Amino acid sequence: MREEKKMSEKKKQGRGRIHKIILVILVCVMLASGLWVLGDYVRDWKAQREYEKLAQLVKEETTAAAEETTDREEETEGTEESIEETEPPYVSPINFEELAEINPDVVGWIKIPGTNVDYPIVQAADNDMYLHKSFEGEETAAGSIFLDFESQSDMRGYNSILYGHNMRNGSMFKDIVRYKEEEYFKEHQYFEIYTPTETIHLKAVSCYYIKNDPMVRKTRFKTDESFQAFVQAMLKPCEYAQIPEEPVKNLYTLVTCSYEVDDGRTVLFAVEADEKE
């Protein structure tokens, strides 16, 4: 009997040790997971602060440029010299020279009023480089807003495709998914893309979610007629789409992750708008 009791006590002790080991492992796993989530959050927060600093830099440079232009105009007022009237050269509100010193891959800047979308646009030799790399080259889950490597860098090709992550903290292209709500769509239809050579005024015309479809990425067309057919096909699935009556010269496609289906994407389509609209 005593031997049986000893064996029973040993078994209990053994089970107790196993339970303690399992508990320690679970605690370690939870701590590691917590640290990983915290680290991910810190990296995303840091990346967002970087973009906010860039946006602030752009605003400061824009203000300085505007003041310099005003000073020049005041200096030339009242002169009797006959100056031939010519259209002044385009001066971007974005200091692309400053941005290019930070990252030479910069090709533009996108700003959608009333949303968190206010970021530089980069373009690489593939669509992987900026998936998890910030504008300043840091590894981050937020990545960057980037132009498809097959789109024209001046964003004057048939289809300029921009990608951005759907971040939980509301950054990057998170607000794009809200365009699937008709009221939000109508309230935020107009926005701009700035390039070193021009300001492109855009109007959102369609938005919906799809299962990741390579057709959306099409950038080359044999004829203008085939491109117009592509535009019609792309815009049509949205029940409140505003399909242009005139032929579309350039299509702008904004893409982000969507969770209605596996491997889903929300796609927002825009066309060039009249500056007066």
Which pTM was predicted? 0.77
Choose between 59 and 98: higher pLDDT. 98
Residue 5 pLDDT: 57
The stretch 91-110 carries a mean pLDDT of 95
Q: Name the pLDDT band for 61 (thresholds 50, 70, 90).
A: low
33-37, 197-201, 248-252: segment of lowest average pLDDT: 33-37
Q: What is the pLDDT of residue 258?
A: 94
pLDDT at position 151 is 98
Q: Which two tokens stand for residue 100?
A: 């290019």
Task: Tell me what the mean pLDDT of segment 212-238 comes to.
Answer: 94
Residue 65: pLDDT above 80? no
The answer, yes or no, to whether residue 105 has pLDDT greater than 60, is: yes
Lowest mean pLDDT among 51-65, 224-238, 246-260: 51-65
Q: Nearest to residue 115, comparing CAs of 172, 76, 195, 194?
A: 172
- The pairing of beta strand 251-258 with beta strand 106-111: unpaired
Report yes or no: 62 and 98 within 8 Å, Cβ to Cβ. Answer: no
The answer to whether residue 44 scores a pLDDT higher than 70 is no
Question: Confidence band (pLDDT; 50, 70, 90) for 118?
Answer: very high
Residue 228's pLDDT is 97
User: Pick the residue with more confidence: 141 or 68?
Assistant: 141
Structural contact between residues 166 and 172, judged by C-beta atoms closer than 8 angstroms: yes
Query: What are 149-169's pLDDT values in tens digits?
Result: 999 999 999 999 999 999 999
